[in-house]
Chain A
């Protein structure tokens, strides 16, 4: 009888979360460049400094099931043993003993946007120094962190027992990413997917970041295009002085603090027109594969480098949004 009553009840049920099917279409009419200042105030630049100026590979992660913040130390022991067991397939490993690779899990309290966001989670693998000298620091060989900055679209709809940290960034050998990822998949029933960034989103990024004010002298704004269908790969690099880029953007943007798709298109068209005037090449026919500005750089294969701590939350907010759209 449970069979009969269980089935139809669910049949009439809507999708397991609240958002309607409207999300199937892209609807990014307007975006905020930087999150509300209230969330920025509490950020301590010192604590997140190590996240800057490193190339991070992006992944999207579905919500973690039964993740407990209070168990980080236990998780670290288990993950450590798992890595050791995977490395020496066939040999059992006792959980909790000292191993070659030390695992540390910790919360990064400052990387949050809204109230619904969970604290970011940092995973670090370090190799114990062979010299066995107790003073020498362990060397970090791999690090990765899960975070959510204004990920409300995802987190407001999941029930208890699920933890939404949809963006995962890694730095270090792919083999470690694979081990850590597998363990998280097995333990918290989540899925990882590489987060590629489309040319459209790259153009959004360059427009958003070109307009940002920087205190110190910034590096050039650079766009790299790849020309498709050629026997030899051909990349075109297009560098603009940051002040010129900002001046151009200021003429395009109508409402400060908000960006529309139309403005981004106009900005890019201006750049294309300028390039065409000089080189007679239509960049719009090529594929935008990388953008870099004084704030951050991003590649189409999902690798970002964030340069400026002030804009860390803003960049993460955008990446969180991209990760969520890949999950839902």
Chain B
């Protein structure tokens, strides 16, 4: 008794401690100052101390009760009952209290009203010892208490199931609980309890038959359905059931009168909230309309593989030997995945992995070609059957859209494209109107794998180009966005691969380089034509340069021996753009396409990489740099440009235009894209001057102006000027004449 009383004090003490948590009090909003906090707390201390005492007295009283006792008002037991009730509802009961109180309740020593009140107060402060429950079950078997109390106890047990500290012995009592099914009143509760307790080893033909007998006697009952579906989950070779679609709750009123009290106590104790076991009856798939059985864009629910046969288990009596596998229906959390990863099986229908992130994780870990093949066949058929622009009068566009969306999300998750999806795109792009499910289709494009097969031009680029040229500017931008993602994905995936397989680098590298080069050239071509079709639209140019921002990183960031300059048809519209964002981006691209570094790299890596950049690339780069520096910096537009498609013009021709200061007109002050900045700058340095004398921006003010531009977010311009201009000025000092690269 001594020992137990000390043990009993402990949780209360711990509980008391948690009450000193300041934040907990503040949340309650009862306390304003620290002073009143202290006074309140000490009052509380006293209260709890006295409560603790009276609870102790009550428990020792109930422990010693020998015979049947009648309860009268103001009597001793009444006082103790009140003590138990008030403590339980406020702070919950300590673990040792349960055995004493359950003994009292189920031994029938008191009248049912007392027992009911006691049962209702059995709220755990922390946990319920398994022993107390086992003893209670033995009381249940001797039937000293009334049916009502039995029922209430079972409800209590179901609600408190997750608070029981261990459950091994309870599992061992499975047969005892099962025998209570005979009692029709208890049957629903027993089914629920069995539902919580059932493991695969509990399911056997005898029990199945008993349940089927019950079903035959009582008809369709939701609690029987739930238990039988669980049995089916564990032993599909012995019993099967199809649940009706509409069912939502399988166990009624399972929370009993305790739910509110538990929540209150738990909140006050702030203990770890245990998740109650969720129902996992994966049944009714939401079906909006009635559709053909074989053509539903419903992604199957992930359910355990019911066809789990292995050759070496041929002798097994049962068709399925899932003894060791973990039912997928019970897989809900990532820790579960980690704990059971060795005994997981893929679902019976692979398609269900698409909507299950845990299974997608698992897929990433398992190297089995058959899972990809199953997914390939399923997805291929789904895409073809439901494709809204291939099937005439297919009214399910929204469903198809969301299906494509799901596929795309799974691809992003796995960081790889599905081959069924790739084939689908190749097959249907020539038939696509570019409108139906536009964003979904274009997103899927970005996960087409880079393969060595050479027909990508006729399957992807040709139909895409046709759509590109004949569709709106928004479509053009979206296509470029997708192709940018595609390039990015190729580069990322292969960067990883190069890291891993640096030894066998040369075998795949040429294929990768050719594929990437082909894509970049394709984009260069459609962009050049697209810009002309759309009158050098700033919006389109923005998307094009966005693509080239990745292209210019291919060499330095992704280590690809590949340098591709943007075509003149893009370079010049960007250089002369009316929009500072595009000009800034062009500067950034030219800065990143750092051929000086490339050349150095090439020299030292030459032995390793058998690729050499053509002289023409250097030539074009130099021409672009000269043109840019001439326009933006040295105010020598139209003069120094030596690119065949460039801005060079004869002096004679220029003089006919009668424009003054021609050569200045594209430097960083006069450039149409920069004019806004230079005006604002002038307003800041000479607020009184309204004539906008741009010539003031020179010498020291030119440098201030540069600083001003850099603060305006023109980072591309900054890095370009800082890198290229110094080189140029150095070069001109050396009288080399042009930018040496």
Using A2-B364, A11-B497 as known contacts, say yes or no to A92 and B211 having CB atoms under 8 A apart. yes
Contact B237 A2 (CB under 8 A): no
Within 8 A of A (CB), among B365-406: 365-367, 369-370, 372-374, 376-378, 380-382, 384-385
Interface size on A, residues (CB 8 A): 61
Using A8-B493, A8-B500, A92-B228 as known contacts, say yes or no to A191 and B364 having CB atoms under 8 A apart. no
Other A-B contacts than A3-B364, A191-B382, 17 sampled, CB-CB below 8 A, are A6-B365, A9-B367, A12-B508, A14-B451, A21-B459, A62-B381, A66-B307, A78-B240, A86-B242, A90-B247, A92-B224, A94-B238, A95-B237, A159-B369, A162-B373, A187-B348, A326-B384
Contact A24 B426 (CB under 8 A): yes
A305 sits at the interface (CB 8 A): no
18 contacts between A and B (CB under 8 A): A2-B365, A3-B364, A11-B416, A24-B426, A63-B373, A74-B237, A89-B243, A90-B225, A90-B247, A92-B212, A92-B228, A92-B231, A159-B370, A177-B293, A178-B293, A185-B294, A185-B349, A187-B306
B252 sits at the interface (CB 8 A): no
- CB-based nearest B residue for A63: B377
Query: 1/0 per residue A64-100: CB within 8 Å of B?
Result: 0110101100100010011001100111111110000
Query: 1/0 per residue B403-447: CB within 8 Å of A?
Result: 000000000001110010011001100000000000000000000
- Across the interface, A158 reaches (CB within 8 A) one of B236, B373, B423, namely B373
Within 8 A of B (CB), among A89-116: 89-96
Contact A21 B416 (CB under 8 A): no
Contact B365 A4 (CB under 8 A): no
Complex Cα–Cα for A191 and B296 (A): 11
Using A11-B416, A21-B455, A92-B212 as known contacts, say yes or no to A188 and B239 having CB atoms under 8 A apart. no
A59 sits at the interface (CB 8 A): yes
Residues in A neighbouring B453, C-beta threshold 8 A: 14, 20-21
Contact A95 B374 (CB under 8 A): no
Complex Cα–Cα for A90 and B385 (A): 31
- Output the least CB separation between B284 and chain A (Å): 10
- Across the interface, B232 reaches (CB within 8 A) one of A6, A16, A92, A182, namely A92
Using A8-B493, A82-B240, A182-B293 as known contacts, say yes or no to A71 and B228 having CB atoms under 8 A apart. no
Complex Cα–Cα for A94 and B206 (A): 11
Complex Cα–Cα for A15 and B421 (A): 11
Contact A7 B415 (CB under 8 A): yes
- Output the least CB separation between B626 and chain A (Å): 41
- Across the interface, A188 reaches (CB within 8 A) one of B238, B243, B307, B376, namely B307
B209 sits at the interface (CB 8 A): yes
B170 sits at the interface (CB 8 A): no
- Across the interface, B294 reaches (CB within 8 A) one of A74, A93, A193, namely A193
A194 sits at the interface (CB 8 A): yes
Query: 1/0 per residue B483-511: CB within 8 Å of A?
Result: 00000000001101100100000001000
Contact B364 A94 (CB under 8 A): no
Residues in A neighbouring B293, C-beta threshold 8 A: 177-178, 181-182
B659 sits at the interface (CB 8 A): no
A280 sits at the interface (CB 8 A): no
Query: 1/0 per residue B637-680: CB within 8 Å of A?
Result: 00000000000000000000000000000000000000000000
Within 8 A of B (CB), among A251-300: none
Residues in B neighbouring A162, C-beta threshold 8 A: 370, 373
Contact A4 B508 (CB under 8 A): no
Residues in A neighbouring B238, C-beta threshold 8 A: 94-96
Select the residue from B208, B239, B307 with max chain A CB neighbours within 10 A: B307
- Across the interface, B240 reaches (CB within 8 A) one of A70, A85, A192, namely A85
Contact A65 B497 (CB under 8 A): no
Complex Cα–Cα for A319 and B467 (A): 36
Contact B372 A91 (CB under 8 A): no
- Output the least CB separation between A192 and chain B (Å): 4
B36 sits at the interface (CB 8 A): no
B70 sits at the interface (CB 8 A): no
Residues in B neighbouring A190, C-beta threshold 8 A: 377
Across the A-B interface, the 3 shortest Cβ-Cβ residue pairs: A62-B377, A178-B293, A191-B381
B703 sits at the interface (CB 8 A): no
Contact B370 A71 (CB under 8 A): no
- Output the least CB separation between A67 and chain B (Å): 8
A5 sits at the interface (CB 8 A): yes
Select the residue from B209, B364, B459 with max chain A CB neighbours within 10 A: B364
- Output the least CB separation between B302 and chain A (Å): 12
A189 sits at the interface (CB 8 A): yes
Within 8 A of B (CB), among A1-36: 2-12, 14-17, 20-21, 24
- Output the least CB separation between A2 and chain B (Å): 5
Query: 1/0 per residue B594-616: CB within 8 Å of A?
Result: 00000000000000000000000
Using A4-B500, A66-B309 as known contacts, say yes or no to A189 and B228 having CB atoms under 8 A apart. no
Residues in B neighbouring A177, C-beta threshold 8 A: 293
